[in-house]
Structure 1
Amino acid sequence: MQNSSIKVKRNILSFIAILLVSLCSAQWTMAASEKEILGNLSAVRPDLKFEFVGESVLPGFYAVQVEGGPLLYVSADGGHFFDGNLYQITRKQFVDVRELALNDTRRDVFATRGTDDMIVFKPAGQTKAIINVFTDVDCGYCRKLHNEVPQLNAMGIEVRYLAFPRAGLNSDSYDKIATAWCSDTPNETLTAIKNGKRTSTSVCEDNPVADHYSLGGSLGVTGTPAIILMDGTLIPGYKPAAELAEFLGVSAIN
């Protein structure tokens, strides 16, 4: 009976030892794969910055984010990759895997992010819903959405603007939108610029436009207006105020 108990204990210890070796081996392989993947990519395109995201939902592939570019799915040996959208097949629909992950990221970002560096248009009364809008002053649909901000405010929807000059940080669009953020009256200046009124550009050194632009890129923003809800949902492009209110569950009749 005692010998049997000793044998069981030895078997358990052997199993634990094998398990620990397997885990260490798996961790070493993962680290080696990361180093090899980034090394191979950087050797071919040293001008690009690659960030190792981790294992993808696709077995045998890892996700690598190109800064300011697409998400790559790279084989574990670093020898092959493909880019583009990866979809999960469910019973009812095709689900964009990256968009699903970005929803969580966007939700977490705006749940903790302050509004000190945003231009905010608040309702006069109770705030019933919030939209975070990456905007550009030279975008026609951004102007169209901005013209409906009073209507959105009247329905209790708060509009929080972040800057996203589509032409980039070395452009007239950047200078114009940065002028709004540098103004002593940012709300009025932004409205004036969006309405096409001539305003002398005044770009201050500590403006947040570059940070907003980088944040937008990391959250999947590729164009404007890009509306992000507090639950992380991204609505690309213009939507009429009434349609936004319906989507947010806010009554269009005040």
Structure 2
Amino acid sequence: MNLMKTALMATTLLVSLTINAQEATIRKNLAERVPQLPAIDEITKSPMPGLFEIRVNGSEIYYTDAKGDFLVNGSLIDTRQRRNLTEERVEKLTAINFDALPLKDAFTTVNGNGKRKMVVFEDPNCGYCKRFEQDLQKVKDVTVHLFLYPILGADSVEKSKNIWCAKDKAKSWQDWMLREKVPASASCDTSAVARNVELGRKYKITGTPTLIFADGSRIPGAINADQIEQHLAERKN
């Protein structure tokens, strides 16, 4: 039994040393040959034999061989299960802890019983956001926490501040997004708007709308009512 245990430990150590050597080779060769590649965060074996996953900038995925002789920028597809493994991996890497989001810096709208929950980051001057808001009205039984995320310029910041300072934030928002009624000038503590921009940068939210569901998954871009329903049904805590 002791001999078997010793052999197993030796095998494990050998595998670990081999993996470490391969990682060192990949890092060295890619740094020398592809200097424009951002610093590598992590190297792991991919589900495809002989292929390694390279992770950079937190959630960007590349693939390479054990020597770093080739670099692949694209999706790895499992044809047997018909799954986009790269997409699933990025989704996992970019997931957000829904319960940790600072909802005090958002305002809330409830449709129906509100039993389903989602978060949305939106800019008041975003045309896609306005289209999204039209579709969102058709989704029943949902609570939406909306973070004003003015990234399209000074006018977006001004409108966001006026909406945040309105007596009824949700009404002011919907009046503008659905009915083109410009938010009335208002003043109050608008530090929440600035915090939202920092929060979005932290989570690398680069466009609006960005949707976040209760399981932490996110969808960048406008989707229609049927797609919202599908994601709410599939992505529960």
CA apart distance, 1:224: 3.8
Amino acid at match of 1:27: S
2:165 corresponding residue in structure 1: 185
For 1:139 and 1:71, locate their aligned partners in 2 and report how far apart those are by CA, in whole Å: 29
CA apart distance, 1:95: 0.8
Amino acid at match of 2:223: K
Q: SS of the counterpart of 1:48?
A: coil
For 1:147 and 1:242, locate their aligned partners in 2 and report how far apart those are by CA, in whole Å: 12
Amino acid at match of 2:165: T
For 2:156 and 2:8, locate their aligned partners in 1 and report how far apart those are by CA, in whole Å: 57
Q: 1:101 to 1:242 in 2, by over 3 A?
A: closer
For 1:163 and 1:66, locate their aligned partners in 2 and report how far apart those are by CA, in whole Å: 29
Give the one of 95, 98, 108 matched to 2:86. Answer: 98
Q: TM-score, normalised by structure 2?
A: 0.69
Q: SS of the counterpart of 1:133?
A: strand
Q: 1:156 to 1:25 in 2, by over 3 A?
A: same
Q: Deviations over 1:191-228 (max 9, x none)?
A: 5775584879x9859523233234246xxxx7543434
Q: 1:32 to 1:181 in 2, by over 3 A?
A: farther
Q: SS of the counterpart of 1:60?
A: coil
Matches within 5 A, 1:190-205: 195=180, 197=182
1:157 corresponding residue in structure 2: 142
CA apart distance, 1:102: 4.3
1:240 corresponding residue in structure 2: 224
2:74 corresponding residue in structure 1: 84
1:37 corresponding residue in structure 2: 26
Amino acid at match of 1:49: A
Amino acid at match of 1:30: I
1:252 corresponding residue in structure 2: none
Q: Show structure 2 runs of 5+ residues with no match.
A: none
* Contact 2:165–2:190 under 8 Å retained in 1: no
Q: Percent identity?
A: 19
Amino acid at match of 2:14: S
Q: 1:196 to 1:75 in 2, by over 3 A?
A: farther
1:122 corresponding residue in structure 2: 109
Q: Quick check: which has more Rg, 1 or 2?
A: 1
Give the length in aligned residue pairs. Answer: 222
2:11 corresponding residue in structure 1: 22
Q: Is residue 2:126 matched to residue 1:142?
A: no
Amino acid at match of 1:225: P
Q: Show structure 1 runs of 5+ residues with no match.
A: 1-11, 166-171, 250-254
1:207 corresponding residue in structure 2: 195
Q: Is residue 2:42 matched to residue 1:52?
A: yes
CA apart distance, 1:60: 1.8
Amino acid at match of 1:212: G
Q: SS of the counterpart of 1:208?
A: helix
For 1:104 and 1:70, locate their aligned partners in 2 and report how far apart those are by CA, in whole Å: 12
For 2:31 and 2:155, locate their aligned partners in 1 and report how far apart those are by CA, in whole Å: 36
1:173 corresponding residue in structure 2: 152
CA apart distance, 1:135: 3.2
Q: SS of the counterpart of 1:159?
A: strand
2:56 corresponding residue in structure 1: 66
For 2:155 and 2:27, locate their aligned partners in 1 and report how far apart those are by CA, in whole Å: 38
Q: TM-score, normalised by structure 1?
A: 0.65
* Contact 1:33–1:78 under 8 Å retained in 2: no
CA apart distance, 1:47: 6.9
For 1:141 and 1:191, locate their aligned partners in 2 and report how far apart those are by CA, in whole Å: 14
